[in-house]
Amino acid sequence: MKLLKTLGLFTFMLLLMVACEEKAERTAENEMETAEIPNADEAMKGWSDAWNSNDSQMLKDYSADDAVLLMWGRQMTGDSLNTWMDSTATWMKDLRTTALMTEKDDNFAWETGTYTHGTSRNDTLSMRGTYTVIWERAEGEYEGDWRIKVMDISPEQEPMQPQEQQ
């Protein structure tokens, strides 16, 4: 009888140890998966920091290969978008964004709000407007990283147009 009780207790302890070990393994796997998933908020902050550090290469790194910029009713893609980032990043300073609405899930994020920034060309000039940035989790070589798919930037004023000669 004692042997039967001891065997029952031993079996119970063995099952409890196995269950605890499996739970610990699942918890460790979940923590690893969570740690490996880049955070959309961190990507958005990094993008803003890239503007403020005038780092056009970092801006390009945050953009998908097929990213689109919409501004003043025009679209820029590919080389023209890269050229725009190269030239704009050199003179923009003190970018501040105020997010009005955001939405994020595992593979998609967007943020829309208002922005202001100064320029290195004119200390008294302050640019402002609205923006919407759409992010998507990359596939392929950069799988899992957040990349900008669409930037819609609407400055408060259109650039000055040359006056027509009469």
Query: What residues does each domain of the chain span?
Result: 1-36, 39-155
Contact 128, 156 (CB under 8 A): yes
Q: Does residue 104 or residue 25 have the better pLDDT?
A: 104
**Is it the case that residue 139 has pLDDT exceeding 90?**
no
For the domain covering 39-155, report its CATH number: 3.10.450.50
Report the alpha-carbon distance of residue 129 to residue 74 in Å, rounded: 16
Read off the pLDDT of residues 12-62 as tens digits, 9 standing for 90 and up.
Answer: 555 545 555 655 555 545 544 443 545 778 888 888 899 989 999 999 999
Q: What is the pTM of this model?
A: 0.68
Pairing of strands 146-155, 63-71: parallel
**Is it the case that residue 125 has pLDDT exceeding 90?**
no
Tell me the pLDDT band of 89, cut-offs 50, 70 and 90: confident
Res 84: pLDDT: 92
Q: Based on the number of CB atoms within 10 Å of its own CB, is 8 exposed (0-12), middle (13-18) or buried (19 or more)? A: exposed
Q: Which ranges constitute the DSSP H helices of the chain?
A: 2-36, 40-52, 56-61, 78-89
